[in-house]
Amino acid sequence: MRKTVSVLLVCMLAAVLFLSGCAKKTGDTGPIQIALQAPITGDYAYEGQMAKQSVEVATELINKAGGVLGRQIAVTVVDDGSNPKDSAIAAQKAVSLKVVAVIGSYGSSVTEPAEDIYEKNKMVSVGYGCTALRLTVDKKPNYFFRTCGRDDAQGLFFAKYAVETMGAKRIAIMHDNSTFAKGVAEEAKKALQPYVDAGKCEIIYYDAVTPGEKDFSAAVTKLRNTQPDVWYYTGYYTEAGLLVRQARDAGLTCPFIGGNAAINDDFIKIAGIDVAKGCLMTQEPLVTDVTTAISEQFRTLYKEKFGDVPSSPWPVYAADALYAIVGAIKNANSIESDAIATAMHTNMTGVEGVTGAIKFTAIGDREDVPYKMYEVTADGKYVVHQQ
């Protein structure tokens, strides 16, 4: 009996292996295949799953509008489990599926091995949640792009805002030791350096908390005792919500500024509206603040399908990545990687995503990602902060 079961299992495994070996090739007809590499499981599963939903919505919108080059598009998801090893295999899987281009991925250290593989295989990939400088600045890739901003832009925006607009003298920076949060924190520190040298401010606190934990009272007590004028937290919204609440409980009253991973409806839920009210966030324009037609359609359809707009900004960039790829295919009038890459670098006229026009620099960064300071209102909404 057991033997029969084992034999059956082996046969099934072999069959699955064989079937998944037969890649769906993009020929001259049928839908254009695009892959989405995202963390469907693992620590950032919520981001990956929302990215999947966003891309589904964008795909439906594009296909309804006639697709591209007269063909429909189809998106296959490969899960990278939020970790670098799986990312390499997932990327290789996407390559073996012979897709035209890839959207992905979330997290810089997860994206990095995938970027190398796509680059080696001359396959266009567009990151949507990977903000470390080195992905583009160090590597100068030919086939890699990203629709999200870069750590340094955000860091610079924060530094300027904190010192020049708010007039803060004593600045505290806190991160969570994740690739992303530490990246932004370090860029912010770097951007503050000229002000420090000029004697305009000082960094009185720079430390990390451990993500996944719930109690940060030790850290906020220490922070409170440094008496900061402003407090910048670059990590994710769960910890941000906990931190703000525990800080207020400990009697820390200075303004809280979160990074763009902190902006999320759940931040308000976790912190509680009494505490969240008035918190600030450095952030690229949110989907709700973009008034283009695409944004409108996207929001409507997303709400229709999944009940609400994405609660985090990142999934929207995944949709943008799809728009960028489709736009480049259209402008290049080809599904060849080189042509798409060239179009992305040089010819993105008329390409619009959910968050507005999309253009890339020579190393693949998105041009003109504006940052804005968002504020939590008393009724739990994020609006652009008016001085």
Partner 1 sequence: MGITDNILKRIGLGKPSGDQPVTFWSKNRGWLLLAITGAVFAAYPFLPFISDYWIDVAFFVGVYALLGLSLNIVLGEVGLFDLGHTAFYAIGAYVTAILNTTLHIPIIVLLPLSALIAAGFAYLVTSPVIHLKGDYLCIVTIGIGEIVRLTMINNPFNLTGGPNGINGIGGPNLFGLAINSSTQFYFYTWIIIGVIVFGLIRLQHSRIGRAWNYIREDATAAEASGVDVRSYKLLAFVLGAAIAGMAGNIYASKQMSISPGSFTFIESSLLFCIVLLGGLGSIPGSILGAVVVVVFPEVFRQFASYRLLFFGLALMLMMIFRPGGMWPRKREGTGLDGLGIRGLPRNDEDLILLGKPDPAILKPATTAVVRGVRLPPVTVPMDEEMLLQTHGVTLKFGGLTAVNNFDLNVRTGKITSLIGPNGAGKTTLFNMITGIYKPTSGQIDFLGRDITGLKPHTIISYGIARTFQNIRLFPSLTCIENIMSGPHCHARSGTWAAVMHTVAEVREERDIVATAAYRLDEVGLWSYRNELAKNLPYGKQRYLEIARALATAPHLLILDEPSSGLNDKESEDLMVLLQSLVKEGFTLLLIEHDMQVVMGISDWVAVMDMGQKIAEGLPKDVYNNQRVIEAYLGKEDD
Partner 2 sequence: MATFFEQLINGLTIGSFYALVALGYSMVFGVMKLINFAHGDLFALGSYLGYTLLIASSSWVTVHFGLWGGMAIAMLFAFSGIGLAGVLMERVAYRPVYPAGRLSLVVSALGMSIFLQNGIMAIWGARPQAYPAAVVPSTRFSLLGLPVTSLQVVILLISFTLMLAIWFIVEKTTFGAAIRATALDRSTATLMGIDVRVVIFFIFALGPALGGIAGVMNGMYYRAISFNMGWTYGLKAFTATILGGIGNIPGAMIGGLLLGLMESLFAGYVSGAWKDVFVFFILIVVLIWRPTGLLGEKTAEKV
Beta carbon nearer to partner 2, 26 or 178: 178
Task: Supply the minimum distance, in Å, between the C-beta of residue 97 and partner 2.
Answer: 24
Q: Is the dihedral of CA 44, 383, 310, 308 positive or negative?
A: positive
For residue 105, whether the previous peptide bond is cis, meaning omega lies within 30 degrees of 0, is yes
Q: Which residues 176-215 are close enough to bind partner 1 by CB under 8 A?
A: 177-179, 182-183
Stretch that binds partner 1, among 112-120, 142-150, 258-266, 345-353 (CB under 8 A): 112-120
Which of 30, 66, 167, 272 is close enough to bind partner 2 by CB under 8 A? 272
Q: Choose the stretch contacting partner 1; rule: CB under 8 A; options: 18-26, 216-224, 255-263, 271-279.
A: 18-26
What are the C-alpha distances in Å from 162 to residues 50, 191, 201?
32, 11, 10
Q: Cβ-count burial of 211 within 10 angstroms (0-12 exposed, 13-18 middle, 19+ buried)?
A: middle
Which of these ranges, 76-84, 157-165, 233-241, 373-381, lies near partner 1 under the rule CB under 8 A?
Answer: 76-84
Q: 3-state secondary structure string, 6-52? A: HHHHHHHHHHHHHHHHCCCCCCCCCCEEEEEEECCCCCCHHHHHHHH
Residue number, 52 or 224, with CB nearest to partner 1: 52
Q: Is 53 in the site for partner 2 (CB under 8 A)?
A: no
Decide if 111 contacts 38 (C-beta within 8 A). no
- Closest to 103 (Cα-Cα) out of 36, 32, 31: 36
Least distance from partner 1 to the Cβ atom of residue 123, Å = 12
Q: Which of 62, 77, 322, 351 binds partner 1 (CB under 8 A)?
A: 77
Strand order in the sheet with 280-283: 202-208, 170-175, 230-233, 256-258, 280-283, 372-376, 382-384
The gap between the terminal CA atoms of the chain, to the nearest Å, is 75
Q: Which two tokens stand for residue 213?
A: 């934990």
263 or 326, CB closer to partner 2? 263
Are the C-beta atoms of 347 and 312 separated by less than 8 Å?
Answer: no
96 binds, among partner 2, partner 1, none (CB under 5 to 8 A by kind): partner 1
List the x/- string, 220-249, binding to partner 2 by CB under 8 A.
Answer: -xx--x------------x--xx--x---x
Q: Is residue 110 close enough to count as binding partner 1 by CB under 8 A?
A: yes
What phi-psi label fits residue 259: left (phi over 0), alpha (psi between -120 and 50 degrees) or beta? beta
What does the radius of gyration of the chain's CA atoms come to, in whole angstroms? 22
Say how many residues touch partner 1, by CB under 8 A.
49
> Of these, 138, 164, 202, 274, which contacts partner 2 (CB under 8 A)?
274
The Cα–Cα gap between 303 and 171 comes to 39
Q: Tell me the CA distances in angstroms from 250 to 209, 237, 276, one per residue in order.
A: 16, 19, 15
- Smallest distance from partner 1 to CB 313, Å: 21
Question: Could you say which residues in the range 166-185 bind partner 2, by CB under 8 A?
Answer: 177
Residues that bind partner 1 (CB under 8 A): 2-3, 6-7, 13, 16-18, 20-23, 40-41, 45, 49, 52, 77-79, 81-86, 88-90, 92-93, 95-97, 108-110, 112-113, 116, 132, 134, 138-139, 177-179, 182-183
Residues that bind partner 2 (CB under 8 A): 41, 43, 45-46, 48-49, 177, 207-210, 212-215, 217-219, 221-222, 225, 238, 241-242, 245, 249-251, 266, 269-274, 311
